[in-house]
Amino acid sequence: MNFLYKIRGLKLLLVVSVMLITLIFYSVEYKFIFHFTNKDNLQKKEITKGDYAYGVSAAHPLAVDEGMKILRKGGNAIDAAIVISYMLGVVEPYASGLGGGGGMLILNEHGKSNFIDYREIAPSPINNPGNTGIPGFVAGMEFAHEKYGSIEMAELLKPSIFYAENGFEVDDILSSRLAGAYHRIYSNKLNIFYPDGDPINKGQKLIQEKLSNNLKNIQEKGTLAFYQGDIAKELNKMTNIPLRDINKYQVEERKPLIGQYRGYTVYTAPPPFSGVTLLQMLKQTELTNTYSGANNLEVYI
């Protein structure tokens, strides 16, 4: 996957929590384009002079590829984040999906910061003895798109629909995660992940037809499909979360936490996220010795 690439006149930092997505736009004197064949083989492909560069990082190469495609088509960081987020729900179902939530930390080229909170929230306790929250993912993606997106939402959903409908090759991580969860979930009701009662193997193709249909529904009707329509009714049926609670889910905008670390300004997520813990840790490291070389903490921050 390409890690750095040239972009025109845009500087934007976007971090999407929970789904492990990072898009960074920054000014550079030279741009470096890298090619990753695997985690142990980092190969420099090209060095050219330019004004701006950008990069995409996510937990699965297919998601990264689709994010880079959107950027090359002229989309912005929010567009890429939405594509990647929906893609991870298809290729990384053990950690991402329509039933989750997260947050976006955004810093634009003018230094203005904003935080979009679309975490899951607790439903009313009546008739809901379980520990299932109301998902915020779909609402969060639509909110971010309406405020910052530049490409039609229907277009951004196409890659995830394609891979859900046509399938993708299962990797080691997904196969092992499914094997580890075998005795903790209703594997007999998840035939697509446990064909013939056994976890799907590495190299097999995973097709998720029902997920594809849900994504198409969201593509056509937006958040109404998830919080008001058939998906909401199915969520109510399976979790006992009252429909009235699902119907009224709202995304929240919050002010990011801002701190200082060794002369740098640090923007991070406000509560209930763990940004305050990050700032505390950074301030504590200021009291310790600064190491050099591979042990220099600043290299990893």
CA distance 102 to 116: 9
Domain limits, the chain:
13-167+207-254, 256-301
Residue 17 reports pLDDT greater than 70: no
Range 59-90 burial, b when 16+ CB lie within 10 A, else e: bbebbbbbbbebbeeebbbbbbbbbbbbbbbb
Look up residue 157 and give its two tokens. Answer: 């959903």
Of 47 and 279, which is predicted with more confidence?
Answer: 279
Residue 27 reports pLDDT greater than 70: no
pLDDT number for residue 266: 93
Q: What angle do CA 36, 170, 79 make, to 5 degrees?
A: 60
Burial of 265 per CB tally in 10 Å (0-12, 13-18, 19+): exposed
pLDDT number for residue 75: 94
Query: Would you place residue 147 in the very low, low, confident or very high pLDDT band (cuts 50, 70, 90)?
Result: very high
Query: Would you place residue 20 in the very low, low, confident or very high pLDDT band (cuts 50, 70, 90)?
Result: very low
Lowest mean pLDDT among 41-55, 58-72, 266-280: 41-55
Q: What is the mean predicted confidence (pLDDT) over 55-82?
A: 94
Residue 74 reports pLDDT greater than 70: yes
The percent of residues above 90 in pLDDT, for the chain, comes to: 60
pLDDT number for residue 230: 92
Q: What is the mean predicted confidence (pLDDT) over 57-67?
A: 95
pLDDT number for residue 188: 75
Q: Which residues pair with 31 in a beta bridge?
A: 48
Q: What is the dihedral of CA 22, 24, 30, 31, to 10 degrees?
A: 50
* Residues 171-202: tens digit of each pLDDT: 999 999 999 988 888 777 888 999 988 899 99
- Helices 209-221 and 158-166: angle between axes, nearest 10 degrees: 160
Residue 30 reports pLDDT greater than 50: no
Q: Supply the mean pLDDT for the chain.
A: 82
Query: Would you place residue 124 in the very low, low, confident or very high pLDDT band (cuts 50, 70, 90)?
Result: confident
Of 297 and 78, which is predicted with more confidence?
Answer: 78
CA distance 9 to 53: 10
Q: What is the mean predicted confidence (pLDDT) over 2-21?
A: 38
Please check whether residue 113 is in contact with residue 183, taking contact to mean a CB–CB distance below 8 angstroms: no
pLDDT number for residue 239: 87
pLDDT number for residue 55: 82
Please check whether residue 104 is in contact with residue 81, taking contact to mean a CB–CB distance below 8 angstroms: yes
Of 110 and 165, which is predicted with more confidence?
Answer: 165
Residue that the structure tokens 């088509």 belong to? 73
pLDDT number for residue 87: 98
Of 107 and 52, which is predicted with more confidence?
Answer: 107
